[in-house]
Structures are given as C-alpha cells and as structure tokens.
Amino acid sequence: MTQPHSEFGQFFEALRGETDRAAAVLGPAYVDAALERLFRARLIAGASDDVFKYGGPLGSFSARIEMSYALGWIPKSLRDDLHLMRKIRNAFAHDFNHRLSFESDQVTQRTLSLTLNQQFADMAEVSTAKTPDRQRAEAMRAAMVSGLVGTPRRRFEMAVANAEVFLGNTVRASTHAPVNGFEWKTTFVGQTDQDLQAHDSIDLTQLKTEP
C-alpha cells in the first residue's frame, strides 16, 4: 500500500506546474485531507463517516483545524498557519474575475504571516546535523531557506509541504497524548532520534528550490 508521504513529492512537483489559482486551492485541499486522516486514525473504530460530511462536526477545513487544536494535537502556530492557508484558498476560489495572484498584496501579506517555514528551518538545523549525508543535508537546508526568502508562492508551497509533513508524522504517532508544549525547534512529536529519522525519510530535498 502506498503511503501518503510517498505520494507527496509527486503531488508537490505537479502543484508547481499549476496556475496560482489552482495551487492556492489544491495545496490546502491536500493538507485538509491530511487532517482528515489524522482524525480517522484517532477516532474510535466504527465512527460514522457522517462526522466528516457537510454540516457534521468535522465537515469543513475550518472545523477540522479548530478541533485538532482543541484536542491538543497541533500547536497554536500550526492552527494559525492552516487558517492562513484556508483564507488564501478562499480568496482565490471567490476571485471570479481571475485577477488574483500570489503577488497580489492581500495574498503576499498572508504568506509573510506564515510561521511554519521558519519553525521547520530551525528544526532542520538540528535534524540535518545528525545526517551523515552532508550533500543531502545542505539540499534540505536550501529547500527550507527557499520557504523563507523565496517568492510569496514559494513560501505558500513550502508551508503546505511542512504542514503535511507535520500532520503525517502525527498520524504515525501511536500515542493519543496531546502535543501542547512540545518543542518545535528540536524535533517532531516524540522528540526522539526515531522521529528525526522519520522526518529524514520523507526527503524534503525533493522539494526543489527555485532557480
């Protein structure tokens, strides 16, 4: 069975070839799907699919963001970034004249408010220090830096990638314990070398930097 993370490199490369409008809609949709997988992994066996349908308690991206935060599964910083992605998606979805782009002021300002890329860049300094393959470590650092100093669209794309990485690691965690208060700048959920290796296996070096 193909794992969601193994599919993400292909999805991300395809995303980069899309229009701004399509990228703004598809990126958050992929993260939203990762949130739904998180709930399905942690809800009791046999839970009704109705909770995910429109009008259900988990029937929208916004509801899934707020509930995962309320349950302590994601930190406030990730909750805030997910809402920024949602607002960017909605702005493009309601731009009926197709005039909006990532260079538009309202979109650019929202990408500048994303904090996930900085948190992952800080964390990469720790995780790559333990990676014997220095070429790969430098490629990962370059990918992370591109999410900080790249174009508004690049910042958005990297935030989508980093959010999906975090949520995927959370889905794989066996515990249901809250993650409130864990250190973003050291590691992922379990704060162990095994978690760092799991992060390395995702291979963010596939998320190529811009020329």
Amino acid at 159: A
For residue 140, what pLDDT is reported?
67
Q: Could you tell me if 58 and 52 are in contact, meaning their C-beta atoms sit under 8 angstroms apart?
A: yes
Separation in Å, CA 92 to CA 37, 164, 184: 25, 21, 30
For residue 41, what pLDDT is reported?
86
Separation in Å, CA 11 to CA 26, 103, 183, 195: 10, 23, 29, 23
> What is the C-alpha separation between 56 and 30, in angstroms, rounded?
20
How would you write the pLDDT of the chain (211 residues) with one tens digit per residue?
334 446 777 888 888 899 999 999 999 999 999 999 999 888 888 888 888 888 888 999 999 999 999 999 999 999 999 999 999 999 999 999 889 999 999 999 999 999 988 887 777 677 667 777 777 667 766 766 666 778 999 999 999 988 998 898 887 763 444 443 333 333 333 333 333 333 333 344 343 333 3
> What is the C-alpha separation between 61 and 51, in angstroms, rounded?
13
For residue 195, what pLDDT is reported?
35
